[in-house]
Amino acid sequence: MPSIAIVGGGMAGLAAAATLSRHGQQVTLFEAGATLGGRARGFYYNGLQLDNGQHLLLGAYQQTRQLLQLVGVTESTVLTRLPMQLHIKDLMGKHHFSLSSNPALAAPWSILWGLMTAQGIGFVERWQAVRWLVWMRLHHFTLQHDQSLMSLLMTHQQSPAMIKWLWEPLCLAALNTPLEQASAQVFLNVLRDSFAKNKQDADFLIAKTDLSSLISTPIAQYLGSNNSQVNIKTAIETIQPTTQGYTLVTNDAEYAFEAIILACGPHQLKNFAKTLPKLHRLTAHFSYQPITTVYLQYPAQTMLPKPMMGMVNSLSQWVFDRGQLCHQAGLMAVVISAHKPFTLTQNELAVAVAKELAALFPCLSNVIWHKVITEKRATFSCDVGLSRPENSSPYPHLWIAGDYTAGAYPATIEGAVRSGIQAANSVMAAR
């Protein structure tokens, strides 16, 4: 009987499969979609490889970077590494905020220097932000009780301007959750890992290719050359417990396995409720946040002043210049996180975003085509005190993996990879 099945070919499932294969285990991975990658996948559009959403990785994504290394990917050829820099413009005025870490200094001084010398905000406010970070570091970035990030910022006298220019954009980018409901502890975990250890941890890493070419294709090739099997377009409809393990049922076949890692999204656990009713209860209390990415193609010579820029008092939050980042000249990717449902059609939204960009960057005036993608359940809502399930499940020989399981990170590629590796290690420990 084949030994281990992995259901779901997103980052968690792929990381689990690669880890098991590396240790000589025979793995069969099932992915319902036509491509691997789940919520981080590429697709072909208008002659270009795009992603279902513009992603940003951090230097602190240790396990993701190790996974890429394991499957033979050379980081510098596939990722653009930018030292941490924020350049943010205000649609409502002429204000501009910028903060650059100092590459000559070690962590945490590189970022403290950046805060102290930030442009567009007063000295007292910068000092309060530095004082808060130092206080957090002294307390090992650990709170006695979780609270909303907004309430923590207020307790530490962070000014409305500092919140608007710095903390809110960072919270939306990292947790995809509004400040008033975002878990301060999870935000501090990200700050700790990015700012407090090595200065390169705060670097931004941006794929030079689409995410499938970056991550899933090399992992699939690695699995293939290690006797593991990958089945795409194969949705598992039922998981039937048996005396020796589980039978996985698709629309036209049945497969028997000794152990399973269920690496589908948190809301997808309910699909197995008929035979495994306790699974759904693990995540029934979760809620979700959307992310919309608006791709706007301009003439090839069009460039932003910086490869990545933020915006406030606007619908648009971040714009990535894919010409500078991944050789797609003139293509901008605008990210709108944790937004309310739009009343605009996709066309109207693209026009509205293009108008904002034209107002902030006069060189962005002539859109050739656009593509809007909304992922309604892009991430779980990383709310205060959210209880997240462990990798072990209420059923024997069945583990769960995904960005939502218990861990320090919000819903991110790194969170999913860590969860997949941890689930794989648990499977091996139990054999």
Ligand X SMILES: Cc1cc2nc3c(=O)[nH]c(=O)nc-3n(C[C@H](O)[C@H](O)[C@H](O)COP(=O)(O)OP(=O)(O)OC[C@H]3O[C@@H](n4cnc5c(N)ncnc54)[C@H](O)[C@@H]3O)c2cc1C
Nearer to ligand X, 130 or 259 (CB): 259
Q: How far apart are CA 333 and CA 418, in angstroms?
A: 27
Identify which of residues 13 and 310 has a Cβ nearer to ligand X in the complex. 13
Distances (CA, A) of 253 to 224, 258, 283: 22, 17, 28
Comparison of 8 and 323: residue with beta carbon closer to ligand X: 8
The four Cα atoms 333, 62, 108, 167 give a dihedral, to 10 degrees, of: 40
For the bound state, the minimum distance from the C-beta of residue 363 to ligand X, rounded and expressed in Å, comes to 25
Query: What pairs with residue 318 in β-bridges?
Result: 310, 335
C-beta of 152: minimal distance to ligand X in Å? 23
The minimum distance between CB 128 and ligand X, in angstroms, equals 28
CB of 58 to ligand X, least distance (A): 8
Give 263 or 367: the residue with its C-beta nearer to ligand X.
263
Q: Where are the beta strands (DSSP E) in 163-279?
A: 204-207, 229-231, 238-241, 246-249, 254-257, 259-262
Residue 278 contacts by C-beta under 8 Å, 6 or more apart in sequence? 393, 394, 395
Measured on CA atoms in the order 130, 132, 133, 138, is the torsion positive or negative?
positive
Place of tokens 């035979």: 275
**Smallest gap from residue 362 Cβ to ligand X (A):** 28
Least distance from ligand X to the Cβ atom of residue 251, Å? 11
Closest approach, Cβ 412 to ligand X, in A, equals: 3
Cα separation, 399 vs 6, in Å, equals 10
Q: Whose Cβ is closer to ligand X: residue 357's or residue 416's?
A: 416
Q: Which is nearer to ligand X, 12 or 184 (CB)?
A: 12
Asked if residues 31 and 13 have their Cβ atoms less than 8 Å apart, the reply is yes
- Compute CA distances 85 → 102, 222, 307, whole Å: 10, 35, 10
Q: CA 13: distance to chain centroid? A: 15
Separation of alpha carbons 342 and 375, rounded Å: 12
Rank residues 55 and 388 by Cβ distance to ligand X and give the closer one: 55
Give contact residues for ligand X (rule: CB under 6 A). 7-13, 30-33, 38-40, 52-53, 55-57, 235-236, 263-265, 268, 271, 291, 293, 375, 378-379, 402-403, 411-416
**383 Cβ neighbours under 8 A, 6+ residues apart:** 177, 181, 182, 183, 287
Q: How far is the CB of 21 from ligand X (least distance, A)?
A: 17
The Cα-based distances of 157 to 124, 137, 151, 152 in angstroms read: 11, 17, 10, 9
Q: Considering beta carbons, is residue 185 or 412 the nearer one to ligand X?
A: 412
For the CB of residue 268, give the shortest distance to ligand X in the complex, in Å: 4
When the beta carbons of 247 and 365 are compared against ligand X, the nearer one is 247
Distance of alpha carbon 44 from alpha carbon 393, whole angstroms:
37
